């Protein structure tokens, strides 16, 4: 998966504040990641009506390679500074 797609997925998860559910899902689904990637590719013709085909292929590539999953999990586990609503960093 390209770095741009990985960054996009990371930013969406952070923006929607779904870090913990995403981490839980990625850890639970890790043994089935290759099967999930193949399922995405199998359903790609149907999903292409809802989502761009290149993004489906990108997510399938992410799921197919466990190293990509490990990098995404590690990045999600990194602690970022907590910011208040005004954008100032809190201790």
User: In this structure, are residues 59 and 40 in contact, taking their beta carbons and an 8 Å threshold?
Assistant: yes
C-alpha–C-alpha distance, residues 36 and 88, integer Å: 40
**In this prediction, what percent of the chain has a pLDDT beyond 90?**
55
What's this model's pTM, rounded to 2 decimal places?
Answer: 0.74
pLDDT at 62: 86
pLDDT at 82: 52
> For residue range 49-70, what is the model confidence (pLDDT) as tens digits?
999 988 888 889 888 888 988 9
> For residue range 40-52, what is the model confidence (pLDDT) as tens digits?
999 999 999 999 9
Could you tell me the residue ranges of all domains in the chain? 3-77
Backbone angles phi, psi at 34, to 5 degrees: -65, -40
């Amino acid at each position: 998966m390209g770095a741009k797609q990985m960054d996009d997925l990371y930013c969406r998860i952070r923006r929607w504040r779904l870090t913990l559910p995403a981490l839980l899902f990625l850890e639970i689904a890790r043994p089935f990641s290759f099967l999930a990637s193949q399922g995405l590719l199998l359903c790609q013709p149907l999903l292409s009506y809802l989502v761009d085909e290149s993004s489906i292929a990108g997510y399938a590539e992410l799921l197919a390679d466990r190293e990509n999953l490990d990098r995404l999990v590690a990045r999600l586990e990194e602690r970022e500074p907590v910011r208040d609503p005004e954008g100032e960093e809190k201790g």
